[in-house]
C-alpha cells in the first residue's frame, strides 16, 4: 500500500470512536431473529438459493447500489417518483437502518475520506476484525461534517421509514410468504436482512485496502481501489477508485474488463423509461 496516498490521523485509531448501543442492539436483534427462526424451522430446498440470489439483486443492486447510492445520494440519474419510493423502501430490507441514517453515514464517510487525513473508522486502518467492530458497532464523535457539505434532503416517506424501519420489512415478507411460503421468507427476506449489511461492510473494507488505482487523488486521504472480480460480484461497487474520481457517474466500471452489472441494470431501467438523464464521465 502506498504510504504517500494513505493518510491517517496521528492519534489512536480508537480516539473519537465510541460504541453505539443502538447499532449493537440492532445487530443483535437482526442476527438473533435470523438465527432463531432458522433453528426453529430450518429450511433448504432446490429453490432456496434462487430466492437468496433474487433478493440480493433486488435489495442490494436495485435498492442500495443503483437506487439509493447512485440515484438518490449522488444524483447520477433522475427517476420516476414511484421508483424512488420503492428503492427507499428496499433500503429498509438491507438491515442497515433507516434511509436517512444510511444517507448520513455515507455523507460522513465520504466527507472525511476526501480530506487530507481520515479517521480510522472511515479509512479502514485496522485489521478486518477491528475494522468491522468500528464500522458496525461504533460511531464517530470527532469533527462533524460542515453544514454546507451537500447531501440529499429527506422527504416524508424517508422520515416515516426512519421511524418504523425495523417493522418495514413485514409487508415484503408477507408477499414472499404468499408467493413461496416459509422458504421464500427465510431465504429471500430474513437472511438477506442480516447478510447484506455484512456484505456491504466486507466490500467497503476490500475496496479501501487493496486493488489497483487508475486515478491517483493527491490531497485526499482515500482514493479507493478497483477490483475486477469484486466489481462484478458487487454490481460495480468494487470499482471504488473510479467512484471516488467520478462520484456522480451512473457507471462505475470504466476500464477494460470492469464489468458493472449495476450500470447494466440502469441501462435497462432507462430503456423502460424508469430512469433518465444519466450522468457519465466525459471523454476528456
DSSP line for 219-277: T-S----B-HHHHHHTTTTTBHHHHHH-TT-S----STT---HHHHHHHHHHHTTSEE-
**pLDDT(109) > 80:** yes
**pLDDT(10) > 80:** no
**pLDDT(263) > 70:** yes
pTM of the model: 0.91
Query: Distance between terminal CA atoms of the chain?
Result: 28
Rounded to whole angstroms, the maximal C-alpha distance in the chain is 58
Give the Cβ contact number of residue 241 at 10 Å: 26
Q: What is the distance between the alpha carbons of residues 195 and 38, in angstroms, rounded to a whole number?
A: 14
Q: Tell me if residue 19 falls in helix, strand or coil.
A: strand
Determine if residue 24 is left, alpha or beta; phi over 0 gives left, psi from -120 to 50 gives alpha, anything else beta: alpha
- The burial class, CB within 10 Å (0-12 / 13-18 / 19+), for 39 is exposed
Q: List pLDDT tens digits, range 209-234.
A: 999 999 999 989 899 999 999 999 99
Percent of the chain with pLDDT over 70: 95
Q: Tell me if residue 158 falls in helix, strand or coil.
A: helix
Least confident window among 38-42, 87-91, 151-155: 151-155
Amino acid at each position: 500500500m502506498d504510504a504517500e496516498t494513505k493518510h491517517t490521523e496521528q492519534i489512536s485509531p480508537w480516539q473519537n470512536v465510541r460504541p453505539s448501543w443502538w447499532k449493537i442492539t440492532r445487530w443483535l436483534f437482526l442476527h438473533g431473529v435470523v438465527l432463531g427462526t432458522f433453528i426453529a424451522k430450518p429450511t433448504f430446498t432446490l429453490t432456496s438459493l434462487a430466492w437468496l440470489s433474487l433478493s440480493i439483486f433486488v435489495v442490494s443492486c436495485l435498492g442500495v447500489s443503483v437506487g439509493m447510492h447512485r440515484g438518490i445520494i449522488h444524483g447520477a440519474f433522475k427517476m420516476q417518483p414511484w421508483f424512488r419510493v420503492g428503492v427507499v423502501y428496499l433500503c429498509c430490507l438491507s438491515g442497515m437502518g433507516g434511509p436517512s441514517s444510511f444517507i448520513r453515514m455515507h455523507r460522513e464517510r465520504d466527507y472525511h475520506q476526501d480530506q487530507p487525513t481520515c479517521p480510522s473508522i472511515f479509512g479502514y486502518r485496522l485489521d478486518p476484525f477491528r475494522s468491522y467492530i468500528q464500522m458496525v458497532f461504533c460511531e464517530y464523535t470527532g469533527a462533524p461534517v460542515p453544514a454546507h457539505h451537500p447531501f440529499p434532503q429527506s422527504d416524508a416517506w424517508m422520515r416515516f421509514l426512519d421511524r418504523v424501519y425495523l417493522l418495514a420489512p413485514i409487508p415484503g415478507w408477507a408477499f414472499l410468504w404468499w408467493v413461496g411460503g416459509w422458504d421464500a421468507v427465510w431465504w429471500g427476506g430474513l437472511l438477506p436482512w442480516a447478510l447484506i449489511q455484512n456484505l456491504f461492510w466486507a466490500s467497503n473494507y476490500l475496496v479501501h485496502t487493496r486493488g489497483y488505482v487508475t486515478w491517483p487523488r493527491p490531497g485526499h486521504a482515500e482514493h479507493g481501489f478497483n477490483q475486477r472480480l469484486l466489481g462484478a460480484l458487487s454490481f460495480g461497487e468494487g470499482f471504488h477508485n473510479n467512484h471516488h474520481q467520478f462520484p456522480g457517474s451512473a457507471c462505475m466500471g470504466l476500464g477494460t474488463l470492469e464489468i458493472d452489472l449495476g450500470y447494466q441494470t440502469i441501462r435497462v431501467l432507462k430503456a423502460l423509461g424508469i430512469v433518465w438523464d444519466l450522468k457519465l464521465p466525459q471523454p476528456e
